[in-house]
Amino acid sequence: MEKPDQKDYDFSSQEGYDQYDAAVATYERIQKGPMIGTEFVDTVEDVVQSAGEQISKIPGVSVGLQYFGGAVKTVDQVMSQDQGLGGMVYRTYKNVRSAAEEGFGDLAENLGVDPRIGSFAGGEFVDTLATAGLGSVAKKTAAVVDKLPPGGMSPQLAMAGGMTAPTQLAPQITKGGVVMKAVTTTDQPTLEAVRGGVKTGDKLVTPTQGKRLIRRDVEIDRLKGSIEQTNVQLDALLELQGDPNNLRLFLNDNPEVEQLMGMYEGRPDQLKKVANRLRERRIGAQESLSRQQSNILPFDETDPNFFRSKEGLVAKKQEEVRRSIEGYLEQHHLFPKGISAAFFGRMDDLISKGQADKDDLILMAEYAVAQGKRTGDVKSNLINMRKDPHNELHTMLRASGAELGKTDYVRSLKDVKDVNELMRRWRNMLDSDVAYNVDTAKVWEPLDDLIKEVRSTK
């Protein structure tokens, strides 16, 4: 893959920046070699889908691969705490490979098969993920998993390489998926509205739901780390702008910032341009974080991922042609992601403190569905709008106080004492600001068109 060239991208909109940054990220990943963290999880999912029928013939392997993805998250988080950055990628890869060998080996041994076969399969799997294209991954994975017997993944894989990490970093896994414990809330209006009635102590998780939450946790951790890193880089860049010697040392340790400096080399506003690009990256990461926090329930065929997805963009293009739109339509979330991200993020906080369980998070999301207001990037939560009416809608909602910034909602929820209080506030929010946002957005553009039509006839 060739290095992305700026001249090939249109930077007149945020979409152009997003496309360029995504291309740069792909290029850099290929250049650095072995993948870590969420890249492994992404590839694991692609492998399961691509190898499909061959892998599904071996019971337990699909669950095992999902388990492996969860363990990678633990490795990545533990290694990211290492302040000695030199060699971190390689050490992470080595720990992941060791974990896979151990886990697959134990799986084989527990089922009466030579553990060396399992260890070989685990090591081959990791090496293939780190170095091969997806086609090779699918083919080779299908070959190595054939050497494994049916069954679940060894629990020893939950801590890669025998390392010690905080308990919350290691996802609890069983043969059936993620252990979610049970619903803890006793808020009756919420419980009674979901699935025809849910009781405190019920378990709401399914294997598919567990997989979605693992993926969500990995992405949230990655994006929070990216935002924190960008904040540090911005502070250092601005602090060192009058100190060229230390600035050079900083750039040596931050090649992605050095790359941006090279893009604006020779310009008198070089540092200002680089700082602005870092701020744009932070904004993009913050938006992505809100989206990940908002997407609790699994996507499916009845309500697929439609925000900036291939399927959603094709549908948007078809609507642009059908409506003879000049320019392009913008996707609008009916249920503002800032609101849902803040509330779900607060539930995440309670869960991390042991004051709630993941099943409460699922209940929270399913309550919104029961009210006809599903959160996140699903098709049912999106409408396409022309740019000007879209901007005017947000301006009006913010001016009226019906759609505040995410930080405002986060701040307002800091005093929430327990899961029941959060559920009550969630129900009230859905009945007030969210309902107003959804109803207004659905009629906003048709009303705008009607007003323009009436004015044109005068």
pLDDT of residue 241: 86
Rounded to whole angstroms, the Cα distance separating 25 from 30 reads 9
Rounded to whole angstroms, the Cα distance separating 322 from 320 reads 6
User: Cβ atoms within 10 A of the Cβ of 267, count?
Assistant: 11
pLDDT of residue 41: 44
Kind and range of the H or E element at 307?
A: none
The alpha carbon torsion through 43, 126, 93, 286 (nearest 10 deg) reads 10
Q: Which residues pair with 331 in a beta bridge?
A: 384
pLDDT of residue 156: 32
How is residue 414 annotated by DSSP?
Answer: T
- Decide: 163 and 95 in contact? Cβ < 8 Å: yes
Buried/exposed 205-223: b ≥16 CB within 10 Å, e otherwise: beeebbbbbbbbbbbbbbb
Measuring CA to CA, how many Å separate 240 from each of 84, 237, 247? 22, 5, 5
The model carries a pTM of 0.63
Segments of the chain with pLDDT less than 50: 29-30, 32-38, 40-41, 43-93, 107-120, 128-179
Measuring CA to CA, how many Å separate 15 from each of 11, 23, 280, 295? 8, 12, 11, 21
pLDDT of residue 38: 46
- Decide: 283 and 349 in contact? Cβ < 8 Å: no
Q: Which residue has the tokens 């499909």?
A: 52
Q: Which residues pair with 332 in a beta bridge?
A: 383
pLDDT of residue 13: 67
> Where are the chain's structural domains?
10-150, 310-457
Q: Which residues have C-beta within 8 Å of that of residue 146, sequence separation ≥ 6?
A: 58
